[in-house]
Amino acid sequence: MKFFFVQDHRQKYRYFSSEPMAQIHIEFSRWKKLWERAKEKLMLLPQRISRQEQAFERSLKLKDRSIQILYSDQLEDKKLRTKFYFFLQKQRTKHILYLVGETLLLPLSGLAALLPGPNVFFGVLAILMITHWRALRGISRTLKKDHQFISSSLIGEWEEAVTKKKEEDYSQILERMTQEFQLKDLDKVLLK
């Protein structure tokens, strides 16, 4: 599995893996309908967010001590390592804040149980908490791994087009990146 550290069309870095986006797997025998409805709601998140969360979570499953990350050939090694480290620290802080906020909302979601029907608000909140907790653990694991950065001229070409705002070149470069790296829905990650 390969990971990517690439700027999107707004020049914000995105981190995602070569694995396609997948349904979140949480098994609870009780209240299965509630969890299924909550998972459907969660899949409405933009792919750029969902794929990043799943990339962090997938690093929990990696057995290797090192992790391969593809990046633009326009950055020098030291600058890239610094950017990636601060990117992970920022994501870690965001996930901690998300978890604190979601924990504060959890008692309020219990009040929704008074309404008729399943408590979908609680289900969505619980799945968000589980997703953010797994991603936070994945970020911590990623920070501990050795990062093997692999430069790519094609990613460099993409970032140059983004920097120069050559929107007419976006689709052609994304098509080539999709073919070379066997990625699906790359436009939903870098353009939406």
Q: Mean pLDDT over residues 21-49, rounded? A: 60
Q: Is the pTM of this model over 0.85?
A: no
Classify 10 as helix, strand or coil. Answer: coil
Looking at 40-49, 64-73, 132-141, which range is the least confident one? Answer: 40-49
pLDDT tens track for 44-72: 566 667 788 888 988 888 888 889 999 98
Q: Mean pLDDT over residues 97-117, rounded? A: 84
- State how many domains the chain has: 1
Judge residue 136's burial from the number of C-beta atoms within 10 Å of its C-beta, 0-12 exposed, 13-18 middle, 19 or more buried: buried
Q: Which domain holds residue 55?
A: 3-190
Which band of pLDDT confidence, cut at 50, 70 and 90, is reported for residue 156? very high
Type and span of the H or E element at 172: helix 167-181
- Whose tokens are 């920070």? That residue is 143
Instruction: Provide the pairing of β-strand 3-7 with 66-72.
Output: parallel
The chain-wide mean pLDDT, for the chain, equals 83
Whether the pLDDT of residue 91 is over 90: the answer is yes
Q: What is the 3-state secondary structure (H, E, C) of 38-64?
A: HHHHHCCCCHHHHHHHHHHHHCCCCCC
